[in-house]
Amino acid sequence: MSSIFTERMLQREGEVSMAFVRNLLSTDQSDLFFLQPQDDAVKKRFLVSMAHLSAMGESVRLNAYQTNGTVLWSTDPSLIGKHFPDNDELDEAIRGDLVVHGQNMGAGLFTKTEHNGLSPEVNFYVESYIPILNPTDHTVLGVMELYKAPTQLKVAIRDAVIQLWLACALSALALFVTLYWTVARADRILRDQQAQLAESQTLATAVDLARAVAHNLRNPLASIRVSAEMLSSTDNSAQDQAEHCSDITASVDRADRWITELVRVSQVTQMTSEVVLPSEVIRACLQEMTPEMNRRGIRWTMAPGEAPGIQAHTAMLRQILISILANSTDAMPDGGDITVQWRVDENNLKLQVIDNGTGIQDDIRNALFRPFFSTKSGGLGIGLALVKRMVEQWGGQVALNRGPVGGTSVELTLPLAAAAPTTQV
């Protein structure tokens, strides 16, 4: 913008100078000097006009060129009769165009031969090539070159550029403040909305938790109450009392199991991952579930060999596998087969637990990972939600798919550990 503004002011200065020079030369017909340089009368009138131009104060040097580029007259007599090749500005003016440009003439910047004799103390010159036209046919008679040291123009350009920079700086500052305020306001709104969303989610989770706990604890509490009332009756036999006590114990165990699951959920974020050998954990879980599987006629098989170490948490991985195996066992009340297998996929271990039970309907498969959603009448709905949350915290994934021959396949994608642990589980 500064360059464009400076060029515009210099062009305006050149246009004013051109109008003045043309009027001065045409008034006394001294422009004929370019055609009749040997005519003494014409030359005299031309010299008078040049004296007027030199007396303007800002003019430093005046050169008059013929259309062949030869210096016809100059305030520096040593330049008269000389021809300066490769002068693009002069060639453009000979074609009839006004050429104006300003230049800082510091030390070492006098690049043209015609600059010889100019004072290096004047650090800013305006050079104008003014075509002189024939008033009858408007052909170019010659070119007047003016070197000026316009002090007032230089000051005006400097002040205008400073004002332009100040205006740009103030505009940039205003734009920055506006954008900063907009971004800050947007950030504040987003933070408020995120806080409100988190609060809403927390409240929704608390409501779901309260609903699930209230719904599920009501049944065992009702059983405990009924059993206690039956025990208070005096006509109960010893066998009836034993049955009531067994019902009370079972109901208390159910309530205690749900509370334990809630406690595990609250402790998930406090557990740090470690290097675990999954084969040992899988064997321990299968052995723990073997009595229940045998009672239901369920057979299990495990892939041979040892699975590579993974990044997980031993106790939580055991709880995850127990939860998955328990779901598979519940899905096969009349017996069946459970297969545990794995494979290495790039930097992950794909661990699969496959059963041939009743399977899961497509419309509820994804909903099973939602907290407090359960298809079991006595389930709290935390098992698979806890599995998903813990596996994702380790940097893995969990997926529910159809089994190869019916039933369900639970696939855990767990990141491989950089090194195996020094001690086994």
3-state secondary structure of 367: helix
The confidence score (pLDDT) of residue 341 equals 92
Domain 271-415 -> CATH class: alpha beta
Q: Which CATH architecture has domain 2-149?
A: 2-Layer Sandwich (3.30)
Size of the chain, expressed as the number of residues it contains = 425
**What's the CATH number for 177-267?**
1.10.287.130
Domain spans in the chain, listed from the N-terminal domain onward: 2-149, 177-267, 271-415
HSE-CB at 248 with a 13 A cutoff on CA atoms is 14
CA dihedral of residues 383, 388, 390, 396 (deg, nearest 10): 150
Burial pattern 104-131, b for ≥16 Cβ within 10 A else e, equals: ebeeeeeeeebbeebeeeeebbbbbbbb
DSSP per residue, 180-244: HHHHHHHHHHHHHHHHHHHHHHHHHHHHHHHHHHHHHHHHHHHHHHHHHHHHH-TT--HHHHHHH
Contact status, residue 409 vs residue 403, Cβ threshold 8 Å: yes
* pLDDT values of the chain reduced to their tens digit, one per residue, 425 residues: 667 767 777 788 888 888 988 898 988 889 899 989 999 999 999 999 888 887 776 667 889 999 998 999 988 888 888 887 788 888 999 999 999 887 655 544 445 555 555 555 556 678 889 999 988 888 999 999 888 876 666 666 677 778 878 888 889 999 999 999 999 999 999 988 887 776 566 545 555 555 555 555 665 666 677 767 776 665 666 676 677 677 677 667 666 665 665 555 555 555 577 888 999 999 988 988 888 888 889 999 999 888 999 988 887 888 788 878 888 888 888 888 999 999 998 889 999 999 888 777 666 656 556 554 455 544 444 456 767 777 888 888 888 888 887 788 888 899 998 744 433 33
Torsion of CA 212, 214, 215, 220, to 10 degrees: 120
pTM for this predicted structure = 0.42
- Residue 400: predicted pLDDT: 82
Q: What pLDDT, on a 0 to 100 scale, did the predictor assign at position 260?
A: 63
State residue 235's pLDDT score: 65
- Please state, as a whole number, how many other Cβ atoms lie within 10 Å of the Cβ of residue 267: 10
Do the two domains 2-149 and 271-415 of this chain adopt the same fold? Answer: no
Q: From CA 33, how far away is CA 143, in angstroms rounded? A: 12
Q: Which residue has the tokens 């165009």?
A: 97
pLDDT at position 393, please? 80
